[in-house]
Structure 1
Amino acid sequence: MQAQGLRARPRRRGLPKDQGERSVIAGNVLDRQFTADRPNQKWVADFTYIWTAEGWLYVAAVVDLFSRRVVGWSMSDTMTAQIVTDALIMAIWRRGKPDALLHHSDQGSQYTSEQFQRLMADNGVTCSMSRSGNVWDNAAMESFFSSLKTERIGKKVYRARAQAKADVFDYIECFYNPTRRHSTLGYLSPIDFEREAGVA
């Protein structure tokens, strides 16, 4: 970055807060072990908010810690359990029924909901959750959203949610997964890393 005259841009604050009820709180099984020996061993998940002239757009994502690939995502104008459920369904559909998979998220009401917990139980997924108020417990996921906001949406003004959705889709599927290089992956993109490992 220094050679190219680039510098990091800090994230903006002041986002809406989750006011939902909590039902199931799991322990922090992941315990900040943000590496995986194989695909579909450890997934991290969270969602974030993007402001548009029509109101908030909520973006949920699931990242495989093996390759840092976004394996599932969902977008909605409402902050319900359905958005995180849809992101996990996409990840399972894309990667196949998991075997001994650990799924880590925060303690948001969307992840503790009966709907989401039932989906994980039906697919044999082990649940892990960050400790309350501890963002470092899900640092790998925070890193992805930080990249999305600083590299793509940070200074943009979206007139409509559809415009923001298209931009997020383009970032994930046309840039982040196939092209964006990661120092933790030997400066390969997630898809290239999986290809090199013979699992893409």
Structure 2
Amino acid sequence: MGDITYLPLQNGDWAYLAAFQDVHTKYVVGWQVLSSMPEESVVTALRRALLSRKPAAGLIVHSDRGSQYCGNGYRPLLVRFPVR
């Protein structure tokens, strides 16, 4: 499952944590923290998750339909790996 969490910083700014969690183990298996929320953050987090876990064919990747999860970098990554 993928999601973006807003993290308040002590100086009043925000950081954004894009993370993918294995819903079976509850472990975060891929993540990226940036000062903005570009599509690149979820692409990096998903790439880290897929490379660390090497999932079997048929893996289901769930996220909301935010713009970061619908972009030209994210969707082709799902096609390259055997996920639904």
Superposition TM-score, scaled by structure 1 size: 0.40
Give the structure 2 partner of residue 46 of structure 1.
Answer: 3
CA distance in 2, matches of 1:56, 1:75: 10
Give the structure 1 partner of residue 26 of structure 2.
Answer: 68
Where structure 1 has 5 or more consecutive residues not aligned to the other structure, the ranges are: 1-43, 127-200
SS at match of 1:89: helix
CA distance in 2, matches of 1:82, 1:105: 15
The equivalent position to 2:36 in structure 1, one of 67, 70, 78, is 78
Higher strand share: 2
Higher helix share: 1
Deviation at 1:98, TM superposition (A): 3.8
State the Cα deviation string for residues 6-63 of structure 1 (Å, max 9, x = none): xxxxxxxxxxxxxxxxxxxxxxxxxxxxxxxxxxxxxx11011112216210001111
Quick check: which has more Rg, 1 or 2? 1
Matched ranges for 1:128-139 at <5 A = none
When residues 56 and 87 of structure 1 are mapped into structure 2, their CA distance, relative to the original with a 3 A threshold, is: same
Partner amino acid, structure 2, of 1:51 = P
Give the structure 1 partner of residue 77 of structure 2.
Answer: 119
SS at match of 1:65: coil
Deviation at 1:86, TM superposition (A): 0.7
Give aligned-pair identity as a percent.
Answer: 34
Where structure 2 has 5 or more consecutive residues not aligned to the other structure, the ranges are: none
Q: CA RMSD in A?
A: 1.3
Superposition TM-score, scaled by structure 2 size: 0.90
Asked if the contact 1:74–1:86 (Cα under 8 Å) also holds between the matched residues in 2, the reply is yes
Give the structure 1 partner of residue 59 of structure 2.
Answer: 101
